[in-house]
Amino acid sequence: MGPPPAVADVRRAVRHALDGLEPGDLVLAACSGGADSLALAAGLGFVAPRAGLRAGLLTVDHGLQEGSPDRAADVVRLASAFGLDPAEALSVSVGTSGGPEAAAREARYTALSEAAGRLGAAAVLLGHTRDDQAETVLLRLARGSGTRSLAGMPARAGLYRRPLLELGRRTTVAACAALGLSPWDDPHNLDPRYTRVRVRERLLPAFEDELGPGVAEALARTAALCRDDADALDGWADAVYARAVVSDSALSDIGAVAVAVPEVEDVPAAVRRRVLRRAAIEAGAPPGTLAAFHILQVDRLVTDWRGQRRVEVPGGVGAVRRYGTLIFARQPASPVS
Enumerate the known binding-site residues for ATP. Answer: 32-37
Smallest distance from the beta carbon of 16 to ligand ATP, in angstroms?
17
* CB closer to ligand ATP out of 128 and 273: 128
- Reduced to 3 DSSP states, what percent helix, strand and coil does the chain have, rounded to the nearest 5? 55, 15, 35
Least distance to ligand ATP, CB of residue 24, Å:
23
Sign of the dihedral defined by the CA atoms of residues 101, 283, 117, 53, in that order: positive
The phi and psi torsions of 318 (rounded to 5 degrees) equal: -115, 145
Decide: is 60 part of the binding site for ligand ATP (CB under 6 A).
yes
Among the listed residues 262, 274, 280, the one whose alpha carbon sits nearest the alpha carbon of residue 237: 274
Is residue 86 reached through a cis peptide bond, with omega within 30 degrees of 0 on the bond before it? yes
Q: Count CB atoms within 10 A of the CB of residue 22.
A: 8
# chain residues binding ligand ATP, by CB under 6 A: 14
Which one, 31 or 257, has the nearer CB to ligand ATP? 31
Is position 128 an interface residue for ligand ATP (rule: CB under 6 A)?
A: yes
Query: H helices of 83-150, where?
Result: 100-119, 130-142, 147-150
For ligand ATP, which residue of 11, 59, 285, 299 counts as binding (CB under 6 A)? Answer: 59
Judge residue 119's burial from the number of C-beta atoms within 10 Å of its C-beta, 0-12 exposed, 13-18 middle, 19 or more buried: middle
Each residue 37-56 as x (binds ligand ATP by CB under 6 A) or -, in order, gives x-------------------
In the complex, minimum distance from the CB of residue 31 to ligand ATP, in angstroms, rounded to a whole number: 5
Beta carbon of residue 1, minimum distance to ligand ATP (angstroms, whole number):
29
**Sites for ligand ATP among residues 19-38 (CB under 6 A):** 30-32, 36-37
Which residue, 59 or 325, is less far from ligand ATP as judged by CB?
59
Q: Which one of residues 43, 127, 146, 318 is an interface residue with ligand ATP (CB under 6 A)?
A: 127
Residue number of the CB closest to ligand ATP reads 127
> Are the beta carbons of 14 and 47 closer than 8 angstroms?
yes
Judged on CB neighbours under 10 Å (0-12, 13-18, 19+), 193 is exposed
CA–CA distance, 44 with 40 (Å, rounded to integer):
6
Please identify, among the stretches 122-130, 177-185, 254-262, 295-303, the one whose residues bind ligand ATP according to the rule CB under 6 A: 122-130
Q: Using CB under 6 A as the criterion, which residues of the chain lie in contact with ligand ATP when the complex forms?
A: 30-32, 36-37, 58-60, 105, 108, 126-128, 132
